[in-house]
Structure formats: C-alpha cells, structure tokens
Homo-oligomer: A and B are copies of this chain.
Amino acid sequence: MALQLRSLIRANGELELSLHDEPIPEPQAHEVVIRVEASPMNPSDLGLLFGAADIGTAKVSGTPERPIVTATVPERAMPAMAGRLDQSMPVGNEGAGVVVKAGSSPAAQALLGKTVAAIGGAMYSQYRAVAAAQCLELPAGTAPAEGASCFVNPLTSLGMVETMRREGHKALVHTAAASNLGQMLNKICQKDGIALVNIVRKPEQEALLRGIGAKYVCSTSSPTFLEDLTQALVETGATLAFDATGGGKLAGQILGCMEAALNRTAKEYSRYGSTTHKQVYIYGGLDRSPTEFVRNFGMAWGMGGWLLFPFLQKLGDEGVQRLRARVVAELKTTFASHYTREVSLFEALQLDAIGVYGKQATGEKFLLNPNKGVAA
C-alpha cells in the first residue's frame, strides 16, 4: 500500500485533508509507475488543496502517521465549491521521481529506472502511474528535486513570452515579480532580449530582482510607484501585463500607466484615448479582495483570465514540444527552482507548515516529498 494526500469539502462546509492508503498502481502497457520524490506546492496546488477554506480555522487531529487537517469554508464561498462537494480529491499538479515499474511498450520500458518529471495531478502520492508519452526524461545526474517544477512555472513563464509575441506586444509587465516564476521570467527575458517591467511590493524583493540583473523594478510601496511604472513603460513600450495578484487596484493602475506612457508620445488628441491595445491578464489570485479600477485608459484595453492549459492547447503540439525541449535544456539554469523546505506528507499536514506555505508568500515555497519518512 502507498499513501496519497486527499482533499475533501463536505456539503456542511468542512474541509478535510487526510492521507489515504492506496494500492501501488500496476502500469498499463503504455504507462510507467513513478515513485514520486519531489512535487512543488504551487498556488495552483494550494487552490485545490484548501479550496475556499479559511486557513486561519485549520485544526489538526488524527495521529502523527495519519494526521487529519480540518478547516471551515465560509458560507459565502460555498457556491463556488458546489462542483467538488463530497468528492475526495487527490492533489499535486506536477512532480518528479524514479520510474520503478514500466508497462510492456518499448516507450515505457525505455524509462525504467530513469528519473522523470510528469504533470497530471495526484502527484502528492507515493506512487503515480503516468503514460510514458507524458513523461519528461531528465538528463542523467538530475535529482528529482531539480526536476520537480518542470512544467507549471517554466511553461507559464514561457507562455507569457509566447503570448506577448502572438498578440503583437514588444515588452512585458509582471506582478509578484520576485516569485520563483518571476525570477524565471527575468532569466528568460534577459536571455531573449525582452524588456520586462517587474512589479514588487517590498524593497527586499526589489533587491532580489536587481541581484539577478533585472533592469526595471517598480515597488508598489514606493510613493512614486505610479510615476516609476509610467517611466518604465515609456522606456520599454510594454502594453501587456501578467498579474498574479488579481485583487485590488493594481491591474487597473497598470492599464492607466500604460495609457499615460502612450499619451506622452502621442502626436494629437484622441478623444477615446490611445488607440494602442493595452492588456492585463490575471493568472493568479494572491489578493482575494475585489478587483477595482477607474477607467482612465481609453477604450483600447482588455483584462481577462489567463490559464496555462488552454494556452498550451491554443499553441498546439509542435509549440508545446518546443517549449518542453527548452525547459529540459535549461533546467539547471533558466528554469532552476528554489524551495524553502522539503516536507513529507506527514509534515505537510501540520499547522506550522500550513502556516508558512499556506500564505503563498514570495520565497516561502515548499517542496513535498511523498516518500520522505515512509517505511520502504
């Protein structure tokens, strides 16, 4: 038997996280079974893990070997949970580990004993069966921890650059820019010669980004934030932003500053504002407060959700293969991820850990090792 982390929201509004005993999977002919040794705890994972539960209400019961976390979902948030009620859901988008069983197909057999990365959910499990074609074989000498984040962050940051090119923009704005993803995006943009305007909240985040060579960093905590941002937009010509925060005034401020930057170079009055399209894609929800904006950016603007998988579908197989190949080639450089702490399944379900990774704070990313501390 093997452990799997599950998340359940009951119709009465109670969230329950627990460890289930599952049989070690037997691979189909085209599948391999990965012993998962590293899986990141990304915001997208935490969204499924906690749902709309208020983490502040979390309690731990059960035993050290079978901890049970409970928390309460506020009643106003329950309608959004309707689709998942009373379903015990496995968690974990992506991860890496060693192939310990392989189906009969040559593709599966070729991976036996190899270290691979995979995406597809349920990675917070000791063992996970995955189609061989879905595995990304890691170069010899790559540890699972180094390959744990091969998909979500690398493909999201590459996806931002691809979106910029496809939609005819020439530079980018990114918020929560000191995140793992944001650092990756800086490395990509520096390598590809793309101007990137980084927006952060704190001086130490600015220092971090300057330290890795970021040229444009604007801090919302600065009294001159809007002017700094406008100036960076004048210099870069960025008319596309990716916003991880979602809530508050930031997305609208970015559009307003883009408009101000465009108007500084405008030749004549346009009553409907600049005719250049300005776009903010909201791809995360770090700030859960309502989104608010004053429409001081003319009529040529858009705001919208951006999600990796629909984007990859639009990009098509060939495009996705191109991005994956780049991730593997630059795994230890451009796409290297950093974690605060490696936790076991048991440790992940303790209040001290939840109190840290649950905040989704920059520089506090955990790596889950579902086989840590488990008797072999």
Known contacts: A83-B270, A290-B292, A292-B291. The answer to whether A305 contacts B310 by CB under 8 A is: no
A294 and B290 within 8 A (CB)? yes
Known contacts: A87-B269, A294-B290. The answer to whether A301 contacts B300 by CB under 8 A is: no
A275 within 8 A of B: yes
A272 and B83 within 8 A (CB)? no
A271 and B304 within 8 A (CB)? no
Q: Give 23 A-B contacts (CB < 8 Å), ordered by A residue.
A: A48-B271, A79-B260, A83-B266, A83-B269, A87-B269, A246-B295, A247-B295, A252-B290, A272-B307, A290-B292, A290-B293, A290-B294, A291-B292, A291-B293, A291-B294, A291-B295, A295-B305, A298-B305, A300-B307, A302-B303, A302-B305, A303-B303, A303-B304
Contact residues in B for A291 (Cβ distance below 8 Å)? 252, 292-295
> When A and B form their complex, which 10 residue pairs have the shortest distance between CB atoms, in order from nearest?
A83-B269, A302-B304, A299-B305, A84-B269, A299-B307, A292-B292, A303-B303, A290-B294, A301-B305, A290-B292
A120 within 8 A of B: no
A11 within 8 A of B: no
A285 within 8 A of B: yes
Contact residues in B for A263 (Cβ distance below 8 Å)? 82-83
1/0 per residue A69-112: CB within 8 Å of B?
A: 00000000001101110010000000000000000000000000
| Distance in Å: Cβ of A226 to nearest Cβ of chain B | 11
A268 within 8 A of B: yes
Complex Cα gap A275–B310 (Å): 8
Contact residues in B for A41 (Cβ distance below 8 Å)? none
Complex Cα gap A263–B252 (Å): 28
Contact residues in B for A302 (Cβ distance below 8 Å)? 302-305
A357 within 8 A of B: no
A282 and B295 within 8 A (CB)? yes
